[in-house]
Chains A and B, each alone.
Chain A
Amino acid sequence: MNVTDHIGERIVMDNEIGSGLDINAINMNSWNSDSYAAWVERFGKPEEIARKILADPKKILSSLRDVFAEVKGKKILNMMGSNGTKAVALAVLGAEVTIVDFSEENRRYALDVAASAGVKINYIQSDILKIRDYVDNRTFDIVLAEMGIIHYFTDLNPFMKIAFDMLNNEGLFILKDFHPVSTKLISYRGSTAKIRKYKITGDYFDKSIEKVEVAYGKHLDSMEIKQFVYIRKWTLGEIVTSMAEEGLIIRSLKEEPNQSSEVFDRGIPKTFTLIAGR
């Protein structure tokens, strides 16, 4: 088992990209297969997760709850917002939320959750890089991209440019994702915190594209045909630099140890949150 578990079992490294493979089309197809059923497995039926969101919307936001201290009346863009649970939580808190995501299955689940929660969200089914076909620049107070987003891009600059363009003058771009030190470098042995030993075994500078099982696949044991996506893992230097190159002024970086355990992996950065403005 290695640290790429969060996105499913690592399948194979290959160089098919050089042969003109359209990875965006493949990724889009994979995300349009069974994700609705996967989200039902993961979160329950829309009305079930809606009840949980209504009971404690800030809990759904997890470690981002501090960032979203006050969202009432704020216009929020949730880039590639997937199943919509975060967006619905933000809508329950009074925000006006737009998701842009290219999956019809994700869209159906998110809209069903929103309807069950009694809130409205605007779900645009589109490649995020084509958002300008639907939304004007400088529309949003907050642009959010979180957990497993940036590895879908083989060039980060167009993605960062979208974030920059969508922000209004006082707006904030919030990017939370898996920390490259964990995803690219470190592996471990040992099933308990006391005996667990860590080593650097990965290549932080690896620029290759990986073929991995789609993220929702781990929630679908019954899935007959596995769906795969292609991802590129970025270094923190590449992420920060691409933000700055597209005009984003970085306001803060937070590097977080494991948020889901008090004992495992405490001295290792597992996630990061970058906040930037115009």
Chain B
Amino acid sequence: MDYIQSNKEAWEEAFEERSVDWGADIITRLNVEKFPFMDKNFIETLSKLDMNGKTIAQFCCNNGRELMSLMKFGFKSGIGFDIAENQVSFANDIAKRANINCRFIATDILKIEAAYYDSFDVIVITIGALCWFRDLGPFFKMVAKCLKADGSVFIHEMHPVTNMLGAPGEDGYDEAAPNRLVNSYFSKVWKENKGIHYITGKSYKSKTFTSFSHSLENILNAIIESGLSIRKIREFDYDIADGMFSALNNKGVPLSLILHASKS
């Protein structure tokens, strides 16, 4: 089985194992909060654009909560793509109940249908998307294909500096010294069977997740080779990875970033 199919099965298993409250608060929070589930700096970045009447997509959209939150900017329509069929079904149900003009489509990102090419003014990619692709080249080529001629992609991800840090539970991680480097900055393959904690709230013997750490060189060059132009990189000193590196928050360590690239 290739790693993408294996990851699909592991993600669908994670959704089946989800905690009872996973996703239960989406509609409530969408009703009472301005941009729930979203990072304030990511919202600040996006708010500089005029979104009124524009179209948005999210690649690797999970249960859809982020895309539904971003629809508050006034996008005309939104489409979320994710490989896990049960997550997508859940997201479509929530969008229908919340009366939000979003659709969610279950697909391998690398196989998004041509019908969606040249379709979006904005594509967003948030934490924990890029790591599921061994080669970011085809991934960003699909981003470029799906963007309209003057479209933009906004990426909110872990900073590649986190490639070098240990996470709790990992070999070499020292709770007393979370600033110790235990891994290479450069590319590395990870195989894990500990499940997805932020969805399930527990550790369990899961199907195999295969992920890849990417350097900034990997990310930038894949974007550039897809034909997109790098516009801006903002770096931040706080963790966005479910607390994995939060012991280093506000200590001068780049833990997350926002990257803007555009087609024109």
Q: Which residues of A contact B (CB under 8 A)?
A: 181, 185-186, 197-206, 235-237, 240-241, 244-245, 249-255, 257, 266-269, 272
Task: Flag if A244 contacts B232 (CB, 8 Å).
Answer: yes
Chain B residues near A251: list those with CB within 8 A. 224
Closest to A272 in B: B217
B254 and A204 form a contact (CB under 8 A)? yes
B225: min CB distance to chain A, Å: 9
Interface size class of B (residues with CB under 8 A): 20 to 34
Residue contact B216 to A236, C-beta cutoff 8 Å = yes
* Contact indicator A200/B230 (Cβ below 8 Å): no
Which residues of B17-47 are within 8 A (CB) of A? none
Q: When A237-B233, A252-B224, A253-B221 are in contact, do A205 and B254 touch as well, CB less than 8 Å?
A: yes
Tell me the chain B residues, 214-255 only, with Cβ under 8 Å from chain A: 215-217, 220-221, 224, 229-235, 237, 248, 251-254
User: Which of B61-69, B97-105, B174-182 has 4 or more CB atoms under 8 Å from chain A?
Assistant: B174-182
Complex: A185 Cα to B229 Cα, angstroms: 28
Question: Which of A205, A253, A255 meets B185, CB within 8 Å?
Answer: A255
Cβ of B161 and Cβ of A250 under 8 Å apart? no
Contact indicator B235/A200 (Cβ below 8 Å)? no
Is A205 within 8 A of B252, CB to CB?
A: yes
Is A199 within 8 A of B181, CB to CB?
yes
Verify B229–A181 contact, CB threshold 8 A: no
Q: Given the known A-B contacts A197-B180, A255-B185, A269-B185, are A206 and B252 also in contact in the complex, defined by CB atoms under 8 Å?
A: yes
Interface positions of B (Cβ within 8 A of A): 161, 164-165, 177, 179-181, 183-186, 215-217, 220-221, 224, 229-235, 237, 248, 251-254, 257
Give chain B nearest CB distance to A187 CB in angstroms: 10
Complex alpha-carbon distance, A268 and B186, angstroms: 8
Which of chain B's residues have a CB closer than 8 A to the CB of A198? 164, 180-181
Q: Are A254 and B217 in contact (CB under 8 A)?
A: yes
User: What is the CB-to-nearest-CB distance from A277 to chain B, in angstroms, rounded to a whole number?
Assistant: 11
In the bound complex, what is the Cα–Cα distance between A138 and B89 (angstroms)?
Answer: 56
Can you name 18 extra interface pairs (CB under 8 A) apart from A241-B231, A252-B220? Answer: A181-B161, A185-B161, A185-B252, A198-B164, A198-B180, A199-B181, A203-B251, A204-B161, A204-B237, A205-B254, A236-B233, A244-B229, A245-B232, A253-B221, A267-B185, A268-B164, A269-B215, A272-B217
